[in-house]
Amino acid sequence: MRIEALGVEHFYGHEKVLNGVDIVIEPGSFTAIIGESGSGKTTLLSILSTLLQPSVGSVRYDGKILSELGNIDHFRRAHIGFVFQFHYLISYLSLRENIALAALDPTLIDPLMENLGIERLGKRYSDEVSGGERQRAAIARALINRPSVVFADEPTGNLDTKNALGVYELFKSFSKEGTGFVVASHDKKIADYADIIIEMEDGIVKKIHK
């Protein structure tokens, strides 16, 4: 899915956090959005992934604006995955139940968990597994419906180097199978995996590297 942001601005109260962003995310690409804290990475990611409405401007998905996509929840569930910095698994559900909560086709859960190496942890709760395992479960939840694009906000921010690299490897391998990834991070290692790097500063796109 091709995602196009046109003149996107966003305010929190009177504070302008995005100041006219125009970018294109090509289908199946691995895009990294990098920048310091407060540069607007998370807000841009939230807007691109439909989790937040822009104050000004629009985002097009294969040429269609949000209001033309029908039910936004259905669209998000079928086409978009999201991975957060703090896994954000629901604590009273087991890892498998967390993934099942999002799944449109429950038969895909076990193969995906096996693929991600967490098949033995299905009945465990998020506070019973390691940080890396939690993040793998969160990634499984994002990937379960084979979305066109997965957005990840600082997905390795809470992980050690080994687990962080493991997450990037996972993203890269799924990217090769056609899933697009848009990853916001201040971790420079992401540059080794990304096809496109968008550099943000003070709410604007400072530079795009290909």
- Residue ranges binding another protein (CB under 8 A): 46, 49, 51-53, 71, 73-78, 80-82, 84, 86-93, 97, 101-102, 141-142, 145
Of 52 and 108, the one with the shorter C-beta distance to another protein is 52
Of 77 and 193, the one with the shorter C-beta distance to another protein is 77
Of 97 and 202, the one with the shorter C-beta distance to another protein is 97
In a 13 Å sphere around the CA of 147, the CA atoms on its Cβ side amount to 29
Of 12 and 169, the one with the shorter C-beta distance to another protein is 12
Q: How far is the CB of 86 from another protein (least distance, A)?
A: 7
CA distances from 142 to 55, 113, 155, 184, 200 (A): 26, 12, 12, 15, 25
**H helical segments located in the chain:** 41-48, 72-79, 95-102, 109-115, 131-143, 161-176
Q: How far is the CB of 201 from another protein (least distance, A)?
A: 21
Of 37 and 162, the one with the shorter C-beta distance to another protein is 37
Of 71 and 210, the one with the shorter C-beta distance to another protein is 71
Q: How far is the CB of 73 from another protein (least distance, A)?
A: 4
Q: How far is the CB of 31 from another protein (least distance, A)?
A: 19
Q: How far is the CB of 175 from another protein (least distance, A)?
A: 20
Q: How far is the CB of 207 from another protein (least distance, A)?
A: 26
Distance CA 63, CA 201 (A): 27
Burial class (CB in 10 A: 0-12, 13-18, 19+), 182: buried
Burial class (CB in 10 A: 0-12, 13-18, 19+), 127: exposed
Q: What are phi and psi of 76, to 5 degrees?
A: -65, -45
User: Residue 150: which of 102, 176, 113, 182 has the closest Cα?
Assistant: 182
